[in-house]
A and B are shown apart, each in its own frame.
Chain A
Amino acid sequence: SQKIEQNSEALNIQEGKTATLTCNYTNYSPAYLQWYRQDPGRGPVFLLLIRENEKEKRKERLKVTFDTTLKQSLFHITASQPADSATYLCALDPFSGGYNKLIFGAGTRLAVHP
């Protein structure tokens, strides 16, 4: 079956360290993959989009990689801060177009400790 998997266990790291979150998918061949941040009780907020022909994408302290062979995306936050604590969701459009019916992973909760 088609699915997106993110580590369901919370990731606890020390402030200043690099957080790395993983998103694996099966049976899809998406043209792009997206990462969102969700704070408790709030709607997700878009962070980054990476296309299949891009190996890496950066935005300030965020970095995303996309390996279409491994069917995996890694999301990195460097010099992490307590304000980075949130749940991070990966999403892809299995049809790579049309109505952008994004399929989301369950998310990984990140806790950055001072």
Chain B
Amino acid sequence: SQTIHQWPATLVQPVGSPLSLECTVEGTSNPNLYWYRQAAGRGLQLLFYSVGIGQISSEVPQNLSASRPQDRQFILSSKKLLLSDSGFYLCAWNDRAGNTIYFGEGSWLTVV
């Protein structure tokens, strides 16, 4: 069966520090991969999606970037965090034929 792992689960970072959130999917190949952010009381906002290695599309302009160095690995990064980057970040995947998206457990980021 397919599984998705996301880490770290929680982190507190100072303003201006770098960020790296990692996500891996197991049990499937060539998945679509997504990064979402959820602010308190808000809906899920799609940040990035990827249909293949090295192929990244950004949905909103922001202080973040994403990379897909391997087929089942998706990384969310920032060179310098802002207070507004705080939130709940979710990695997700689906296969090319499916409509349903499967989410990881999420990463809580607090920028102080």
Contact = CB atoms under 8 A, between A and B. Distances in A.
Contacts, number: 55
B110 to A, nearest CB: 13
B49 A43 contact: no
Contact of A100 (B57, B94, B106): B94
Contacts of B49: 99, 101
Interface string B1-40: 0000000000000000000000000000000101010000
Decide if the interface of chain B is mainly helix, strand, loop or mixed.
Answer: strand
Interface of A: 4, 8, 32, 34, 41-46, 49, 89, 91, 93, 99-107
Given A89-B43, A105-B43, A107-B43, A100 B51 contact: no
B106 A102 contact: no
Given A43-B105, A101-B49, A32 B99 contact: yes
A47 to B, nearest CB: 10
Interface string B52-96: 000001010000000000000000000000000000101010100
A99 B51 CA distance: 7
A63 to B, nearest CB: 18
A77 to B, nearest CB: 19
B44 A44 contact: yes
Contacts of B105: 42-43
A34 B42 contact: no
A101 B104 contact: no
B98 A102 contact: no
Contacts of A107: 43
